[in-house]
Amino acid sequence: MFALPDLPYAYDALAPVISDQTMRLHHDKHHAAYVKTTNELLDKAGKTAGSLEAVIEGSAKASERKLFNNAAQAWNHAFFWEAMSPERRQPDGALKAAIENGFGGLAGLKTAFVTGGVDQFGSGWVWLVSDAQGVLRVLSTHDADDFVSLDRLTPLTVCDVWEHAYYLDHKNDRKAYLEAWFDALPNWSLAASQFAAATGQGEAWRYPAPRVQDQGRAA
């Protein structure tokens, strides 16, 4: 059984960009439902995998769309919470240099990131990713799609552009949400460790392992 990870900060820590009310609904209802449905679908199929990453990769390959959508959304949201921080930070070191190489600096990355999120038609996510050579790109994905099964690209940060992520706080103004988000909330410490992992130093972030009593079961 996969657990719903706790938020790494208080519900109101990201206000005013993301309100207490949005965080409670987003984490306790939306994210919780994806985790619950993933567990139910695995249980119904009589299987438990060793990791959520394995569930995502397996369901993608087998075209088990409902399981994939819920497992990937469970992963995406857990990573999204970690990808934000109430402490305003700036990229530094190797990550800062890669941003300068790829986008001319943080302002150029912001423009690319906001545009990527605004241009994502319908629900989805906008990501900053790195390849193994440390080349950065901004990419958007539709619905639950993610980069777990693409081992040549590592996500450094992500912003949820489903309407449930911003509608209470920014109404229909996705651009204002993305601009405020980019200025205040990215966790550049996580992005730096993800960038290091992408280029061969250390491990990339992973979803918390299933609870101990389930780990002995066959995948």
Residues interacting with Fe ion, by CB under 5 A?
A: 160, 162, 165
Residue facing Fe ion at closest CB distance: 160
- Give the residues across from 53 on adjacent strands: none
CB closer to Fe ion out of 23 and 191: 23
Contact, 147 vs 124, CB < 8 A?
no
CB closer to Fe ion out of 34 and 195: 34
**Distance from C-alpha of 50 to C-alpha of 58, rounded to nearest angstrom:** 11
Smallest distance, Å, CB 1 to Fe ion?
21
Contact, 115 vs 130, CB < 8 A?
no
Smallest distance, Å, CB 63 to Fe ion?
23
| Distances in whole angstroms, Cα of residue 211 to Cα of each of 8, 29, 32, 39, 73 | 19, 21, 16, 12, 19
Smallest distance, Å, CB 31 to Fe ion?
7
| Whole-number CA gyration radius for the chain | 17
CB closer to Fe ion out of 29 and 152: 29
Smallest distance, Å, CB 69 to Fe ion?
12
CB closer to Fe ion out of 109 and 165: 165
